[in-house]
Amino acid sequence: MDNLWRDADSKNFEYSDLAMRVYTSRLLGQNDDLVLHGGGNTSVKSTSTNIFGEKEPILYVKGSGWDLKTIEEAGFSPARLAILQRLASLKSMTDTEMTRELKASMTDPGAPSPSVEAILHAIIPFKYVDHTHTDAVVAISNSPNGEQILQEIYGERVLVLPYIMPGFVLARQVYESTIDLKWQTIEGIALLHHGLFTFSDSARTSYDRMIELVSQAEDYLKAADIFSGLATANYKPIASDYLDLARARQSASKNFGAPMLATWMTDRESVGFSCIDSIEKISTRGPVTPDHTLQTKRIPAILEKNPVPGVEQFATDYLDYFTKNNDGTLNCLDPAPRYAVWKGKGLIVFAGNIKRRRVISDIVEHTIKAIQWGEALGGWTTLTESEIFELEYWELEQAKLKLAPASAEYDGRIVVVTGAASGIGKACAEAFASQGAAVVAVDINPDIKNLYSETSVLGIVCDATSDNSIQAAIEEGVAAFGGIDILVSNAGSFPASSTVEEMDSAFLDETMQINFNSHVSFIRACTPYLKLGNDPSVILMSSKNVPAPGPGAGAYSAAKSALTQIGRVAAMELGGYGIRVNMLHPNAVFDTGIWNEEILAKRAENYGMTVDEYKTNNILKTSITSHDVAGLVLTICGDTFAKTTGAQVPIDGGNDRVI
């Protein structure tokens, strides 16, 4: 494991104990093999001057809701050290009492709440304390002779302690085990099934020791030829897989009580893991460490070729697990799986939103590695079901989940937007993503691939006039997110002016192809997925030219009229599946790819107007932007319009010919 300490960087943090604490905490946070997403915690013992001008010993410990990777000085809770140390001498304390006492020990009530491990940090008699959930050490401890192996690796330098719940009982365990201990003789404490502590009066030494001890565990795995021997395999998806995936998502969403994303992981490691003969047995023993359960649940669902029964079985088993372990005072969490092993085909990650998906997939990536290491060490061995349940339903852990931000309107929903590289399509993709949706953004412009930096938007190059290209784009989008809830069929082009008398057949064909046929192809390709979607909806980007055509735009007006008519028919045909189909008639949206200042000026001049007059040439005297159209699209796909289908809604500032 690389030591990331750099003298040149550390110099910028030498000005205070807390600043140095920030520096090495971030070094730990940067390594996924040490801590994942908010895991682990660190502290420093220092002094601060109180309002009476007296110096007080303070423990600055990681605050709840902060991540070591990005922590700042404000992310540490300042707690009075003497109080925390005294709390450790109590024989017992309830969770409620501990939470209250930790809060009361703070010198600044505005700071974040101290980590539940604050008391443990307080009793370790060194200035700097580092704590991680290192993969290598935890994986070794999850094997039949884990404790022995760790003792063999570390000898007397590390105190190895059996698993106990985090919080006060863990602080008590360490307190009692170290009463007669000469702290100077050890460099760390390994907690089985949990992680590793290192400490020193120097920030650097404490960090160096963490890297050194973890490296020793990794070396042990390497020497046993376990480190790199992970299963890998390839799987080439077949057409029916995508619909099966969407069905699995539908079943998971039903159990979750809200739409979920279902990301299919077909990388070589995921497929390799799903191909292991004994996968059903080894993957359902338990998690790497109990606090992963909050994100991934205790075990994955196991899915056969038809994945739906496996998702349902998981939910049934989860309810049994709850009933069996509930002491009668707890409320059951949702029984939807957070990930699944799809035998021979890879893994599926289920998540309520994009952010959660990232957390779960990162944990899963580390879990499949740790399970195989544990197997190679004699058999993956985790804590018992009831020990894991205790942590999953521990009120302090549940409180952490409640800190997560409130859900956005389109969390867990999946939207396909065509023509998403510019104008109205781009505005729709951005608006949906900002409201929590996962967006499949398709366009013929190759820039679409790199246009969006958010992980919630997947840019796919697609030729809307080719059915094969459309099918491939839809399958790629479904594999990434699990299905389709909304189709915004927007791609189109505004052709050059031509009278009917001058119109040649090729020109007419081409206009119909992009402004009519391609939309029908998208509806056709998306419908099987929309039937499995959450509050499914189709928006067809039509035109003011349908109710109010103009001379010279015959081909365009005819194509948009045909599109509107097929939308009305689709509304009738798909209504029985709960799929709504609505048409928008925008007009004079000038912030799109086809307009620029020069064209606008020329057009305005033709009508004897200024550019501003031309832009606002409507009853409301207002200009219409692509963001206005996107706003309307989101509203129509939302609850307000839940009972409206087959409607044609103008967005044109008011046009007397339309009215």
What's the closest the beta carbon of residue 166 comes to Zn ion, in angstroms? 6
| Of 195 and 536, CB closest to Zn ion | 195
What's the closest the beta carbon of residue 244 comes to Zn ion, in angstroms? 38
* Cα–Cα distance list, 315 to 255, 279, 301, 327 (Å): 7, 19, 9, 20
Tokens of 159: 């105190």
End-to-end CA, the chain: 70
| Of 195 and 547, CB closest to Zn ion | 195
Strands 438-443 and 414-418: parallel
Write the DSSP string, 321-356.
HHHHH--SSPPPPP---SEEEETTTEEEEEESSHHH
Judged by CB under 5 A, the chain residues 183 through 202 that form the site for Zn ion are 195
| Of 292 and 357, CB closest to Zn ion | 292
What's the closest the beta carbon of residue 132 comes to Zn ion, in angstroms? 8
Q: Which of 452, 529, 556, 614 is catalytic?
A: 556
Q: Are 557 and 546 in contact (CB under 8 A)?
A: yes
| Of 362 and 573, CB closest to Zn ion | 362
Instruction: Please report how the helices 554-574 and 505-512 are oriented relative to each other, as an axis angle in degrees rounded to 10.
Output: 40
- Sign of the four-CA dihedral 236, 238, 240, 243: positive
What's the closest the beta carbon of residue 318 comes to Zn ion, in angstroms? 25
Cα–Cα dist 250/248, whole Å = 5
Cα–Cα dist 284/276, whole Å = 13
* Residue 556 is among the residues annotated as catalytic for this protein: yes
Q: Are 343 and 247 in contact (CB under 8 A)?
A: no
What's the closest the beta carbon of residue 66 comes to Zn ion, in angstroms? 14
Judged by CB under 5 A, the chain residues 30 through 59 that form the site for Zn ion are none
| Of 150 and 624, CB closest to Zn ion | 150
- Cβ neighbours of 420 (radius 10 Å): 31
| Of 62 and 426, CB closest to Zn ion | 62
What's the closest the beta carbon of residue 484 comes to Zn ion, in angstroms? 40
What's the closest the beta carbon of residue 131 comes to Zn ion, in angstroms? 6
| Of 195 and 352, CB closest to Zn ion | 195
| Of 133 and 357, CB closest to Zn ion | 133
**Element counts in the chain: helices (H) and strands (E):** 26, 18
The most distant pair of C-alpha atoms in the chain lies apart, rounded to whole Å, by 101
Strand order in the sheet with 261-265: 261-265, 346-351, 339-342, 301-303
x-or-dash string of contact with Zn ion, 217-256, rule CB under 5 A: ----------------------------------------
* Site size toward Zn ion, by CB under 5 A: 1
Cα–Cα dist 624/629, whole Å = 8
Q: Are 615 and 550 in contact (CB under 8 A)?
A: no
What's the closest the beta carbon of residue 34 comes to Zn ion, in angstroms? 11
Write the DSSP string, 540-588.
EE--TTTTS--TTBHHHHHHHHHHHHHHHHHHHHHGGGT-EEEEEEE--
Residue nearest Zn ion, Cβ-based: 195
Judged by CB under 5 A, the chain residues 89 through 148 that form the site for Zn ion are none
x-or-dash string of contact with Zn ion, 145-184, rule CB under 5 A: ----------------------------------------
What's the closest the beta carbon of residue 133 comes to Zn ion, in angstroms? 6
Tokens of 108: 């600044």
| Of 345 and 366, CB closest to Zn ion | 366
The candidate with the shortest Cα–Cα distance to 217, out of 373, 26, 365, is: 373
Tokens of 259: 């739409």
The candidate with the shortest Cα–Cα distance to 329, out of 394, 387, 375, 270, is: 394
Sites of contact with Zn ion (CB under 5 A): 195
Active site residues: 556
